[in-house]
Amino acid sequence: MILSVSRRTDIPNYYTEWFFNRIKEGFAYVRNPMNPHQVSKINISPAVVDCIVFWTKNPEPMICRLDELADYNYYFQFTLTGYGKDIERNVPNKKEKMIPIFRELSEKTGKQKIIWRYDPIIFTKKYTPEYHLKAFEQIAEALNGYTEKCVISFVDVYAKNKKNIEAFNSYAPDKPEILAFAEKISKIARINGMAIGSCAESMDLSECGIEHNCCIDKALIQKITGYRINAEKDKKQRQECGCIESVDIGTYNTCKNGCKYCYANYNEESVAGNCIKYDPKSPILCGVIDENDKITERKVKSLRERQLSIFDL
């Protein structure tokens, strides 16, 4: 099993204590977002977890506790953009705070285990293509030698973020403009020693040197674990997404980063209401189990390929 921690909220930033308590106890409860009274009990012991993929904008609370993950394989998806407080309200200053944290994490885990995400890219009168290229170059130069890969994506509009995106007066460049932009950003990444990929983009950017990326990446996981993984594409994700199947233990409407483009929060009131329920000792994140909930143990197993192939001989 690949454990996703988490596409739904920033667990490393805000819920580190809860996560490590779950690691100690070896299981977590996860409420079905589509069926609120259906709760899964998920075994998250090293026996079944092949790799943990962390998603975060600030892993600082977790850095001093990485030794508690000695029995697990893992890597980080670390989002670091050029936006200010108008879009990423609660993310600390990038130059003064986040770049040093990125470097510190890289030094502790190794640069292979930390992916830099510059996404989503939104074009506005303030955040023009020229602005993004300048910001990207400054960050890339600062992270040179601290990561092997960068991932970009262009903003997607969902029902949950449509109102906020429209408030930016954002615009979508035409295809030639996108390709010109992508070629420049790809060149900057290469100059700074990084491969670059796109996240769930329908547009083919391969001519610009940008590959279709898999954020939950079978090849990388096999490299980190040292064994073959028997896993299929995650059918729950968008068609353009190349990620393999995973189990997410996060909860929607609990991320306090305050990013205006976020698809995982309905509104600030929902986040505040859920965060009040946070109990680091609870088996479920920002919630309580009541008499109407049905708890079912989800069947999970290691995805390690046990059968030898001719390549293993």
Count of domains observed in the chain: 1
pLDDT of residue 42: 98
pLDDT of residue 311: 42
Position 236: which residue type? K
Sequence-distant (6+) residues with CB within 8 A of 289 are 29, 39, 283, 295
Residue 116 and residue 247: Cα distance in Å, rounded? 22
pLDDT digits (tens, 9 = 90+) for 94-104: 999 999 999 99
CA angle 274, 280, 284 (to 5 degrees): 60
C-beta of residue 240 within 8 angstroms of C-beta of residue 202: yes
Distances (CA, A) of 241 to 4, 76, 79, 107: 15, 18, 18, 30
Handedness of CA 253, 256, 259, 260 (dihedral sign): positive
pLDDT of residue 312: 54
Residue-by-residue pLDDT tens, the chain, 313 positions:
999 999 999 999 999 999 999 999 999 999 999 898 999 999 999 999 999 999 999 999 999 999 999 999 999 999 999 999 999 999 999 999 999 999 999 999 999 999 999 999 999 999 999 999 999 999 999 999 999 999 999 987 666 777 777 888 888 889 999 999 999 999 999 999 999 999 978 788 989 999 988 899 999 999 999 999 999 998 888 777 889 999 999 999 999 999 999 989 988 999 999 999 999 999 999 999 999 999 999 999 999 998 654 445 4
Residue 239 and residue 256: Cα distance in Å, rounded? 29
Tell me which residue of 66, 65, 23 sits closest to 46, measured CA to CA. 23
Query: Residue 163: which domain range?
Result: 2-312
Segments in 226-309 forming alpha helices (H): 268-275
Cis peptide before 120 (omega within 30 of 0): yes
Residue 281 and residue 271: Cα distance in Å, rounded? 19
**What pTM did the predictor assign?**
0.94
Handedness of CA 226, 231, 235, 236 (dihedral sign): negative
pLDDT of residue 31: 97
